[in-house]
Chain A
Amino acid sequence: QICRECFYIVFEDEIHQTIVDNNLFKAGERVAIGASGGKDSTVLAYVLSELNKRHKYGLDLFLLSIDEGITGYRDDSLETVKRNELQYGLPLKIVSYKDLYDWTMDDIVKAIGLKNNCTFCGVFRRQALDRGAALLKVDKIVTGHNADDIAETVLLNILRGDIARLSRCTFITTGEDGPIPRCKPFKYTYEKEIVMYAYFKKLDYFSTECIYSPNAYRGFAREFIKDLERMRPRAILDIITSGENFRISTTTRMPEQGTCERCGYISSQKLCKACVLLDGLNRGLPKLGIGRTAKVGAGADGSGEQQGKRAERRNRSSLQGKHGNLDF
């Protein structure tokens, strides 16, 4: 048991240790904090700002926010980030799906229905963060993914047989060989601690579920993890440890990393997922890029691979619509 003040010290110090032990930053780096206005990113902005001063990391910090165009959810949470900009004195940049792709999430859901929403949103947001970071000319992106998130992702990838992702999803820093690396200082921090910290410090954050998320597959992994945590809280960190220690069988075929033919973004296929999805949307083929033909990785049976290649040849023919303002 510890008192409130000691909790603050321990919480902040554990994160500082994670940053130092894993060499997350170098002095002088420009760093964009992926900020949604939610609990994790708000606490991340607050703590990183604080530690940067206290331990003299020498970082130039920015807030980077993505507007997916989800009415009643994102427009509200962006107000929170704008307040954070003032409260923490960190410059804010907002990048929108509308500007980048000419499609808002609301438009997308109208076109594809209520399934696979998170697939589109996640793929687009990942690119949007990189594009926003390029505009800000930063050296690194940090996100507020916490221990619970990472444990969920490990389980999710096991449930889906996604070996490629399973091998990467516990890395604390990713994309070091790409344009802009990103890291997760909260990798070992429990969601519960983050919420407690925010509550006691009275930090301003937005707390509503995305209106499209109830159908997300991740929800099952989350329920399970929460039940596990109740029985044995250590399970969350232990799942991460298991994930860190997975070794992929040498006979497993893994995708090779290259670049997208159209936009130059990092991709294991001829076209990156965002280009495929966007192409599907613009051609009125919402299932393009969703489902078996797009699956890659271990266990992809021969016929699946062939179908995938056929679909790719079709895709490459004529990309319509906006595919982003920046080429990589």
Chain B
Amino acid sequence: MHLTLEFGGGLELLLEKSTKVHKVDVQPRDGEDKATMKGLLSWVKSNLVKERPEMFIKDDSVRPGVLVLINDCDWELCGGLDAELEDKDVVVFISTLHGG
């Protein structure tokens, strides 16, 4: 499944070369027929985050203070961790944890 992932608010610094936009190909985890946000998070943690993973993930979810948008919609309105992803979806992670 092809997804576009965007990282903002300083999160891009945790990734290789600090790139903000990543086009990725993600498969559903074994035993599941659909990819969920939960699966995507652990995929991102294992494959994209190169340093300080605690700035991005806490326990099973994103660190509190990180906003998540799925196709420009707040993920809390789309099912949160259980939201199902489809091909060509755009997922945006924005950190709010910095000075204003």
A residues near B (Cβ < 8 Å) are 1, 4, 36, 38-41, 77, 144-146, 149, 191-192, 194-196, 199-200, 207-210, 213, 222-223, 226-227, 229-230
How far, in angstroms, from A4 to B97 measured CA to CA in the complex? 23
- Is residue B25 contacting chain A, with contact meaning CB distance below 8 A? no
- Given contacts A4-B72, A196-B74, A38 and B64 within 8 Å (CB-CB): no
- Is residue B8 contacting chain A, with contact meaning CB distance below 8 A? yes
- Is residue B10 contacting chain A, with contact meaning CB distance below 8 A? yes
Q: Nearest 3 A-B pairs (CB), nearest first?
A: A40-B100, A226-B64, A38-B100
CB atoms of B77 and A1 under 8 A apart:
yes
User: Among the interface residues B65, B74, B92, B99, which one has the most CB atoms of the partner chain A within 10 A?
Assistant: B99
User: A195-B67, A207-B95, A209-B10 given. 14 additional CB < 8 A pairs?
Assistant: A4-B72, A38-B100, A39-B9, A39-B100, A41-B100, A77-B99, A194-B100, A200-B72, A207-B98, A209-B97, A222-B65, A226-B65, A226-B97, A230-B64
Contacts of B98 in A (CB 8 A): 38-39, 207-209
How far, in angstroms, from A199 to B96 measured CA to CA in the complex? 11
A-B CB contact pairs (8 Å), 11 listed? A4-B72, A38-B98, A39-B100, A77-B99, A195-B94, A207-B9, A207-B10, A207-B95, A208-B98, A209-B10, A213-B99
How far, in angstroms, from A38 to B95 measured CA to CA in the complex? 13
Interface residue tally on B, bucketed by range: 20 to 34
User: Among the interface residues B8, B63, B69, B97, which one has the most CB atoms of the partner chain A within 10 A?
Assistant: B97
Contact with A along B77-100 (1 / 0, CB 8 A): 100000000000000101111111
CB atoms of B9 and A195 under 8 A apart:
yes
Contact with A along B1-29 (1 / 0, CB 8 A): 00000001110010000000000000000
Q: B10, B67, B72: which contacts A192 (Cβ < 8 A)?
A: B67
Number of A-B pairs, beta carbon distance below 8 Å: 59
CB atoms of A222 and B97 under 8 A apart:
yes
How far, in angstroms, from A250 to B74 measured CA to CA in the complex? 47
How far, in angstroms, from A268 to B99 measured CA to CA in the complex? 28
- Given contacts A1-B77, A207-B8, A208-B10, A192 and B100 within 8 Å (CB-CB): no
How far, in angstroms, from A255 to B96 measured CA to CA in the complex? 36
Closest to B64 in A: A226
Contacts of A1 in B (CB 8 A): 77
Contacts of A230 in B (CB 8 A): 64
- Given contacts A196-B74, A207-B8, A146 and B64 within 8 Å (CB-CB): no
CB atoms of B100 and A146 under 8 A apart:
yes
Contacts of B13 in A (CB 8 A): 208
Closest to B13 in A: A208
Closest to B9 in A: A207
Contacts of A223 in B (CB 8 A): 64
Contacts of A195 in B (CB 8 A): 9, 67, 94, 96
Contacts of A41 in B (CB 8 A): 100
CB atoms of B100 and A36 under 8 A apart:
yes
Contacts of B8 in A (CB 8 A): 199, 207
Contacts of A227 in B (CB 8 A): 64
Q: Within the complex, what minimum Cβ distance (angstroms) separates A88 from chain B?
A: 17
Closest to A144 in B: B100
CB atoms of B72 and A38 under 8 A apart:
no
